[in-house]
Amino acid sequence: MLIHSLLERNSFRDFRQAHAWSVSNPAEFWRQAWKDLGIVGHQGNVTSKGEGFLNTQWFPEAKLNVVETLLKGDPAKEAVVSYLEDSSRTSISRGELKKLVTACALALQDCGIQKGDRVVAWMPNVPETMIFALGALAIGAVVSTASTDFGPVALLDRFGQIKPKLLFAATTYQYSGKKFNLEEKLPDVLGSLPSVTKVVTLGPSQNGVDFQEWLKPFLGLEFEFPQFPFSQPGFILFSSGTTGKPKCIIHSAAGVLLKVLSEQGYHLDINEDDRVFYATTCGWMMWNWLMIGLGRQSTIVLVDGSPAHPDLERFWEIASRERLTFLGVSAALIETWRAHGVSPRQKFEIDQLRTIASTGSPLSPSGFDWVSEHVGREVKIASIAGGTDLCGCLVLGVPTESAPRGEIQGPALGLDVRVFRPDGSESDAL
């Protein structure tokens, strides 16, 4: 367990002492995290310079390409598994993924996409979306993704702000057994995105070139991954839009890489033998979080469509079939399973499952009880919370401690997280 290595190497008595050290000595912690997490690239001799939130620069001498960390490892190992609503399954090895990402990077360059250009995807949660995002990151482009359930207005509220040069869009998608047509909406979307000079589609289309045809000329070619500074932008995420138009947030690719891998490595004990699924769409930061799991050399499982089609046991059937070790869902879905009497341990082989992560809203004590009684008493519950603004967690699991029923375990390493009562006084809850 990586957290044990951190504790032993620094002679910390427990996680709490390690957390206090990481907050008091952030430069030392993040420098050590880079090494522990196997980040590929040149770290440089300076970890940070400047003062304050806005003026601090992290790893100002670093040079790296985040995709090299995400694609390293045994080329024969399964990298991505994908399920559609019709239960069709596809699998891609790490070697095949690197070949496809390389072709995508070259195809993007052939279209004139350069470092810093914005490219966007209106896509289901399928391997092609991940290949596209990795190809863009590989050449220093900035990626923003939206799920297919976004209508044109919601889509343009987001993408209209960032002037993308290329749009990758599905022509159709399926949800809850129904098929939806996006092809007919594309002309209106493109009419409101005059910055777009190239359209790539998932499936044949009159509005753009099919993704597979687009990649074909570049399959099997070599690509030398350029090196970028740590601050190189990589992702644009958007706020929910509940208080006006969604606000765009730019994240450095390397910053997200290091932060998410620290969570997955130290807090959630995700490693190369793990099979990891998080229920998400491409419009939620957990999609980015899941993709970064490739950097732990784990196998990523993508599932598109409704969690209740054809029935509420869909995810558990996949968990059994794929021998999942890590399952991430919303607290609301756990409550739905509980309310409908779903009992996975009675029907499915899920003995390999070690961790269930829950987010989106607080997980109630009864939700904890349901996991213990109907999934397994040995399964760790990691209630996590964070947000789009940091593309990561503020609070989450602590693998060296038991999970208090109905509570989140502790703060993320490297983050000075405080909890305040309604009267403004500070709580010792964490």
Write out the two tokens for 409: 């375990």
Cα 64 from Cα 87, distance rounded (Å): 38
Q: Note whether 324 and 251 are within 8 A (CB).
A: no
- What is the structure's pLDDT at 48? 94
| Cα separation, 114 vs 51, whole angstroms | 31
Q: What is the dihedral of CA 227, 228, 229, 235, to 10 degrees?
A: -140
Q: Which three-class secondary structure state does DSSP give residue 131?
A: helix
Alpha helices in 37-93 (DSSP H): 52-55, 66-71
Alpha carbon distance 13, 270 (integer Å): 22
pLDDT in the model for residue 209:
98
DSSP 296: G
Q: What is the per-residue pLDDT for 428?
A: 81
Name the 3-class secondary structure at 243: coil
Tell me, what amino acid is at 378?
A: E
Q: Please provide the size of the chain in residues.
A: 430
Residue 380 is which amino acid? K
Q: Is residue 396 helix, strand or coil?
A: strand
Decide: 335 and 367 in contact? Cβ < 8 Å: yes
- Give the single-character DSSP code of 63: B
Q: Are strands 326-330 and 275-278 parallel, antiparallel or unpaired?
A: parallel
Strands (E), 293-411: 299-303, 326-330, 355-359, 380-383, 385-387, 392-396, 410-411
Cα(271)–Cα(143) distance, integer angstroms: 26
First-last CA distance in the chain: 22
Instruction: For residues 395 and 414, give the distance between their C-alpha atoms in angstroms, rounded to a whole number.
Output: 11
**120 strand-pairing partners:** 144, 167
Contact 286, 293 (CB under 8 A): no
pTM comes to 0.97
pLDDT tens per residue across all 430 residues of the chain? 999 999 999 999 999 999 999 999 999 999 999 999 999 999 999 999 998 888 999 999 999 999 999 999 999 999 999 999 988 999 999 999 999 999 999 999 999 999 999 999 999 999 999 999 999 999 999 999 999 999 999 999 999 999 999 999 999 999 999 999 999 999 999 999 999 999 999 999 999 999 999 999 999 999 999 999 999 999 999 998 778 889 999 999 999 999 999 999 999 999 999 999 999 999 999 999 999 999 999 999 999 999 999 999 999 999 999 999 999 999 999 999 999 999 999 999 999 999 999 999 999 999 999 999 999 999 999 999 998 999 999 999 999 999 999 999 999 999 999 999 999 999 887 7
Residues 181 and 187: their CA atoms lie apart, in Å, by 13
Distance separating alpha carbons of residues 284 and 146, to the nearest angstrom: 8
**Burial (Cβ within 10 Å: 0-12, 13-18, ≥19) of residue 395:** buried
Q: What is the pLDDT of residue 54?
A: 86
8 Å CB contact between 34 and 48: no
User: Which residue type, as a one-letter code, is found at position 58?
Assistant: W
Q: Among residues 319, 339, 325, which one has the least CA distance to residue 276?
A: 325
Residue 177: what pLDDT?
95
Nearest residue to 76 via CA among 53, 60, 99: 99
Count of other CB atoms within 10 angstroms of residue 153: 11
- Integer Cα distance of 94 and 96 in angstroms: 5
- Local structure of residue 406 (DSSP, 8 states): T
